[in-house]
């Protein structure tokens, strides 16, 4: 039998802050089995760091969270508090985008020159929070490529089956990509 | 000495009622039992493990030590540098049906493709006509019937038989120095079908009683350009297999055949359960999407094969969905196969996909076929991963399948980040390069070669809590090493290293940067009658290594090459100078210090480059992506990179990270914190002023899509991917276009 172990909140804070030392990282990497209570300690650490009180349901990215707004609302929210809307719609649709299409524009983000992607075959897309200007995502794709929905979590399954703590507003509807519903309205 | 079972009992596949099952029957039974209840071979209870765990683990440790020992001995018996010095080899043992029981260190994801050759032999009744005997030797290098990820990888299979029944296979693999294709080396970069891939063999018997037959030696000598090296490797693979063969017979003698047969099923089922448990306990369920692109530039290369005279922008698309039984990888939307070197097969695709899966989920259990049952795969028929043409070239699928691993492994990394297991979360890249070719020495001696250095070790991408490390990993092996320069100089007589170092600035930027990639300058000295070089890269810098950066960082830049032919290197050397990497070479040519008659930067595959005395071949590979918003990078880390030379260009980092620094008279950079704070505020404002609302951008881009205002390669790429329903639905619904919409060919 492997005993379930627990990792201190302090260590998880160091991981989030990027101040953890290599020895502790090594110990974490060599755990025979991961500590099963990590998720909720992690959420506790994250909740301490943000300026708002909305309960964090999941950390999507460094500064991007799915939070509960109560009354059956779950939204993607920036660390600054900006709401990107229902998490089932790709949050990038509510972001601002800067596209680097020419070699000259791409040279500002790739170095040395031979490493710059070929204009026309590729473009660099940068997705920003419209409020604080945080760069939440980068895509390097051909022109015309659909914006990539990087991750749609099945939150209810996660909380109920993996964590054993079902969410109060659980519903089958929550695991559904609604991105196209938004773009369908843009052409009208 | 290895033991050969008595001939009277060792022939498999005879027709008596008392005969053991044929291989075909064994595979059918295995599949029926596994499918009946989802447990490997129908095993619900691990009764041997429960009743006597010490005996059970002792049994497995003997199996495991046999393959570990095979590797550590055999590569010193005889081997080419790639196998002896680096991680380019592996030994394993499988069940009769080809399911892996254990593998050595080395390129371990080959474990997933052992069943391909065994199942082919079973389906084609190799054991019935004309029989499989204990200690036979089979060679395989065919992607379709052997699953190899490129024919440069060669497999040896040795059946282990007891009383007329195959009970196991010993397997040895390594990457050859040369495999006899029209384009010399071990990954033909120009190949329009399988007949241009070099020495490609479906499973075929090449020896008996643990000894290769004489004709087989002649094959290496006459059908490849590195006969001596390849014969050494052949001996190496067989030596390891012979050790495993002997150890397995002893094991069965000690534990008994009944115990062996039951224990091997429990071992695979035990590891399957652990892998599924690992997946469920570390991955947030949901749908993770990713993409990658790779250019195959064939247009204008030749005038013989007109059907191959076109460029192909290869699109790799995948979603990863964790589920009750493990996880599902769906590649629908990936490009169709083409008349180029980059087609894979399901086995070859598995070899790449399982890199991340094994590394992530088999670390605390026995590395067996259990993981294959936990990863469900959809490689649509007709795609580049599963061609509906049996003659496609499979010369270099590794150039694109590795990106599928990046997507899959990247999904695992993102899932663990979401779950809170940040120590496991880093940017995945597999940005490999190598160089290869053939030559004829002054005395007429012909030779072929591969230099594996940038396949042996590349940078690791940024972690979510620190920078990535250079040279520290190879996604395909635990044995990250670029090998000794001298070894490669000895195998390619006219080519010497002028420099071999990390390439400053060559990584994806972010809050944490990727590990820098590498670059070398290869100097041609007295090439004799001829030397020609090509480079079979993974991703090439015309596209990024993957489409998605991690959390606001930039994905790693891909590989490139520079050829500098007709130089004044003698004059430069007399001044005590020489370029040591790609950046230095370009700086020296820009300044006029190094004069070059024919300077070419290759962001796509180069055709064979003929090299003369004092010509230079310069390459760069192994870079990796960053993690997080570059404006969140610790300014002191930027200063450190400037002072160490990791970042050579102040103007670049000033705009990338918003860091203002001053340089003292001795060249040291110091931080101006106040100006940095102000610069970062300005850059955030600039981001917003230079960007558009997605809705406005969408309307403009939609016009481009509707008018197919793309380069021809991009239009062709969309046409191929739109022929798969899943991508068609995503593409047309995102752009709000009719489902039947088609992109014109530009």
> Other C-beta atoms within 10 Å of B77: how many?
14
Q: Identify which of A18, A38, A42 has the shortest CB distance to residue B465.
A: A18
Give the residue on B whose Cα is nearest the Cα of A58: B418
Q: Is B736 left (phi over 0), alpha (psi -120 to 50) or beta?
A: left
Q: Chain A to chain B, count of Cβ pairs less than 8 Å apart? A: 267
pLDDT of residue B474: 87
Mutate to test the interface with A, among B422, B463, B540 (most CBs of A within 10 A): B422
pLDDT of residue B299: 96
Encode B723-735 in three state secondary structure: CCHHHHHHHHHHC
Looking at the domain assignment, is residue A126 inside a domain? Answer: no
Q: How many CA atoms lie within 13 A of A100 on its CB side?
A: 20
Give the residue on B whose Cα is nearest the Cα of A19: B465
Query: Which chain B residues are Cβ-neighbours of A114 within 8 angstroms?
Result: 541, 560, 562, 582, 586, 601, 603, 620
Decide if A122 and B711 are in contact by the 8 Å CB cutoff.
no
pLDDT of residue B521: 98
Mean pLDDT in residue range A107-128: 97
Query: Which tens digit of pLDDT belongs to each residue from A147-176?
Result: 999 999 999 999 999 999 999 999 989 999
Decide if A153 and B417 are in contact by the 8 Å CB cutoff.
no
Within 265-304 of B, beta carbons closer than 8 Å to A belong to: 280-282, 284-291, 293, 295
Query: Which chain A residues are Cβ-neighbours of B628 within 8 angstroms?
Result: 62
Asked if B53 reaches chain A (Cβ–Cβ under 8 Å), the answer is: no
> Other C-beta atoms within 10 Å of B446: how many?
14
Decide if B733 and A143 are in contact by the 8 Å CB cutoff.
no
Query: Which chain A residues are Cβ-neighbours of B417 within 8 angstroms?
Result: 59
Q: Does residue A1 carry a pLDDT above 80?
A: no
Cβ neighbours for B536, distance < 8 A, ≥ 6 positions apart? B185, B186, B187, B188, B189, B396, B399, B433, B434, B435, B436, B605
Looking at the domain assignment, is residue A37 inside a domain? Answer: yes
pLDDT of residue A2: 57
**What are phi and psi for residue B275, nearest 5 degrees?**
-60, -45
pLDDT of residue A3: 65
Rounded to a whole number of angstroms, the distance from the CA of A91 to the nearest CA of chain B is 10
Tokens 């804070």 belong to A13
pLDDT of residue B430: 83
Supply B303's token pair. 């005038």
How many domains, chain A? 1
Rounded to a whole number of angstroms, the distance from the CA of B566 to the nearest CA of chain A is 21
Query: Which strands make up the sheet holding A135-141, listed edge to edge?
Result: A135-141, A123-128, A96-100, B692-693
Let me know if A30 is exposed, middle or buried by CB neighbors in 10 A (0-12, 13-18, 19+).
exposed
Give the residue on B whose Cα is nearest the Cα of A32: B364
Mean pLDDT in residue range A34-62: 97
Low-confidence residues of chain B, pLDDT below 50?
1-10, 14-15, 746
Q: Identify which of B286, B291, B465 has the shortest CB distance to residue A148.
A: B291
A126: three-class secondary structure by DSSP: strand
Decide if B554 and A151 are in contact by the 8 Å CB cutoff.
no
Supply A94's token pair. 């509510």
Query: Which tens digit of pLDDT belongs to each residue from A74-86?
Result: 999 999 999 999 9
pLDDT of residue B743: 84
Decide if B691 and A128 are in contact by the 8 Å CB cutoff.
yes
Query: Which strands make up the sheet holding B530-534, listed edge to edge?
Result: B446-451, B435-440, B530-534, B609-610
CA distances to A24, B162, B570, B613, B616 from B524, in Å? 47, 55, 12, 5, 6
Supply A146's token pair. 């659909």
DSSP class of B14: -
Asked if B629 reaches chain A (Cβ–Cβ under 8 Å), the answer is: yes
pLDDT of residue B6: 41
Given the cut 0.95, state whether the ipTM is greater than it: yes
pLDDT of residue B660: 98
For A27, the domain range is 1-49
Q: Is A80 left (phi over 0), alpha (psi -120 to 50) or beta?
A: alpha
Looking at the domain assignment, is residue A63 inside a domain? Answer: no
Note whether B137 and B4 are within 8 A (CB).
no
Within 179-238 of B, beta carbons closer than 8 Å to A belong to: none
pLDDT of residue B745: 54
Query: Which chain B residues are Cβ-neighbours of A139 within 8 angstroms?
Result: 547-549
Note whether B401 and B344 are within 8 A (CB).
yes
Decide if A16 and B702 are in contact by the 8 Å CB cutoff.
no
pLDDT of residue B1: 37
Q: Helix, strand, coil % (nearest 5) of chain B?
A: 40, 20, 40
Domain coordinates in residue numbering, chain B: 7-273, 426-628, 630-690, 694-734
A170: three-class secondary structure by DSSP: coil
Give the residue on A whose Cα is nearest the Cα of B289: A150
Mutate to test the interface with B, among A142, A152, A162, A176 (most CBs of B within 10 A): A142
Decide if A144 and B424 are in contact by the 8 Å CB cutoff.
no
Note whether B464 and B628 are within 8 A (CB).
yes
Cα(A150)–Cα(B195) distance, rounded to whole angstroms? 40
Asked if B319 reaches chain A (Cβ–Cβ under 8 Å), the answer is: no
Q: What is the pTM of this model?
A: 0.96
Decide if B542 and A158 are in contact by the 8 Å CB cutoff.
no
Looking at the domain assignment, is residue A124 inside a domain? Answer: no
Give the residue on B whose Cα is nearest the Cα of A107: B652
Cα(B681)–Cα(A98) distance, rounded to whole angstroms? 17
Rounded to a whole number of angstroms, the distance from the CA of A108 to the nearest CA of chain B is 7
* Mean pLDDT for all residues in chain A: 96
Cα(A6)–Cα(A8) distance, rounded to whole angstroms? 6
Looking at the domain assignment, is residue A88 inside a domain? Answer: no
pLDDT of residue B8: 37
- The sign one gets for the Cα dihedral A22, A24, A26, A29 is negative
């Amino acid at each position: 039998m492997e005993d379930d172990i627990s990792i201190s909140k302090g260590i998880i804070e160091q991981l989030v802050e990027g101040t953890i030392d290599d020895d502790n990282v090594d110990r974490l990497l060599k755990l025979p089995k991961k500590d099963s209570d990590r998720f909720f300690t992690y959420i506790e650490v994250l909740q301490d760091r943000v300026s708002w009180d909305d309960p964090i349901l999941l950390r999507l990215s460094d500064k991007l969270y799915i939070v509960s707004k109560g009354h059956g609302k779950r939204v993607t929210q920036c660390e600054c508090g900006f709401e990107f809307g229902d998490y089932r719609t790709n949050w990038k649709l509510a972001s601002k985008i800067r596209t680097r299409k020419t070699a000259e524009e791409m040279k500002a983000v790739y170095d040395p020159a031979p490493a710059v992607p070929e204009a026309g075959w590729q473009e660099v897309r940068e997705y920003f929070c419209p409020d604080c200007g945080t760069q939440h995502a980068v895509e390097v794709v051909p022109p015309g490529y659909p914006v990539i929905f990087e991750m749609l979590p099945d939150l209810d399954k996660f909380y109920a089956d993996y964590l054993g703590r079902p969410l109060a507003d659980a519903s089958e509807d929550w695991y559904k990509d609604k991105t196209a519903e938004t773009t369908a309205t843009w052409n009208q | 000495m290895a033991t050969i079972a008595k001939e009277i009992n060792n022939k498999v596949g005879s027709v008596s009622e008392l005969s053991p099952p044929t291989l075909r029957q064994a595979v059918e039974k295995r599949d029926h039992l596994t499918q009946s209840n989802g447990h490997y071979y129908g095993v619900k209870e691990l009764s041997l493990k429960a009743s006597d765990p010490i005996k059970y683990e002792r049994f497995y440790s003997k199996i495991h030590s046999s393959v570990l020992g095979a590797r550590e001995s055999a590569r010193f018996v005889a081997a080419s540098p790639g196998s002896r010095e680096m991680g380019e080899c592996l030994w394993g043992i499988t069940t009769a049906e080809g399911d892996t029981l254990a593998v050595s260190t080395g390129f371990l994801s080959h474990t997933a493709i052992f069943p391909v050759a065994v199942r082919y032999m079973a389906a084609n009744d190799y054991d019935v006509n004309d029989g499989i005997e204990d200690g036979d030797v089979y060679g395989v290098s065919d992607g379709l019937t052997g699953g190899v990820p490129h024919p440069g990888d060669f497999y040896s299979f040795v059946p282990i038989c007891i009383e007329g029944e195959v009970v196991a296979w010993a397997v040895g693999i390594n990457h050859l120095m040369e495999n006899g294709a029209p384009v010399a080396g071990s990954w033909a970069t120009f190949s329009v079908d399988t007949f241009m891939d070099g020495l490609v063999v479906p499973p075929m018997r090449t020896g008996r009683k643990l000894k290769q037959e004489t004709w087989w030696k002649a094959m290496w000598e006459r059908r490849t350009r590195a006969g001596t090296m390849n014969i050494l490797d052949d001996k190496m693979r067989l030596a390891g297999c012979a050790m495993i063969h002997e150890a397995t017979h002893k094991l069965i003698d000690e534990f008994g055949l009944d115990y062996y047969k039951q224990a091997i099923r429990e071992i695979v089922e035990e590891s399957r359960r652990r892998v599924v448990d690992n997946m469920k306990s570390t991955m947030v369920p949901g749908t993770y999407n990713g993409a990658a692109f790779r250019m195959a530039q064939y247009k204008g290369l030749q005038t013989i094969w007109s059907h191959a005279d076109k460029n192909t922008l290869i699109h790799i698309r995948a979603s990863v969905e964790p589920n009750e039984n493990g996880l599902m990888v769906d590649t629908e939307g990936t490009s169709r196969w083409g008349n180029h070197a980059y087609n894979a097969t399901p086995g070859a695709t598995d070899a790449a996909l399982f890199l991340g899966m094994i590394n992530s989920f088999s670390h605390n259990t026995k590395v067996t076929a259990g993981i294959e049952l936990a990863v469900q795969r959809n490689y649509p028929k007709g795609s580049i991963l599963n061609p509906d043409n049996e003659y496609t070239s499979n010369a270099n699928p590794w150039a694109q399948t590795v990106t599928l691993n990046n997507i899959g492994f990247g999904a695992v990394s993102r899932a663990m980040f979401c779950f809170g297991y940040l120590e496991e979360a880093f940017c995945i890249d597999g940005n490999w390069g190598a160089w290869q070719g053939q030559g004829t020495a002054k005395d007429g001696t012909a030779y072929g070669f591969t230099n594996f250095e940038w396949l042996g070790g590349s940078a690791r991408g940024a972690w979510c809590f620190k920078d990535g490390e250079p040279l520290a990993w190879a996604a395909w092996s635990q044995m990250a090493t670029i090998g000794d320069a001298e070894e490669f100089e000895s195998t390619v007589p006219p080519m010497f290293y002028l420099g071999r170092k990390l390439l400053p600035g060559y990584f994806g930027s972010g809050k944490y940067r990727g590990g820098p990639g590498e670059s070398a300058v290869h100097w041609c000295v007295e090439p004799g009658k001829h030397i020609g070089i090509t480079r079979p890269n993974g991703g090439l810098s015309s596209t990024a290594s993957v489409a998605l950066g991690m959390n606001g960082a930039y994905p790693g830049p891909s590989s490139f090459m520079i050829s500098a032919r007709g130089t004044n290197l003698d004059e430069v050397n007399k001044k005590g100078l020489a370029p040591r990497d790609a950046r230095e070479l370009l700086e020296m040519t820009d300044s006029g210090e190094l004069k070059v008659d024919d300077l070419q930067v290759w962001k796509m595959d180069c055709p064979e480059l003929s090299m003369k005395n004092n010509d230079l071949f310069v390459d760069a590979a192994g870079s990796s992506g960053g993690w997080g918003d570059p404006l969140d990078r610790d300014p002191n880390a930027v200063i450190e990179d400037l002072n160490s030379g990791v970042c050579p260009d102040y103007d670049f980092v000033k705009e990338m990270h918003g860091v203002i620094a001053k340089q003292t008279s001795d060249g040291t950079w110091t931080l101006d914190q106040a100006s940095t704070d102000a610069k970062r505020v300005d850059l955030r404002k600039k981001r917003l002023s230079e960007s558009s609302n997605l809705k406005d951008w969408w309307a403009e881009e939609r016009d481009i899509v509707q008018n197919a205002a793309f380069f021809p390669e991009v239009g062709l790429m969309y046409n191929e991917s739109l022929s798969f329903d899943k991508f068609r639905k995503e593409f047309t619904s995102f752009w709000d276009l009719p489902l039947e919409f088609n992109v014109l060919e530009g």
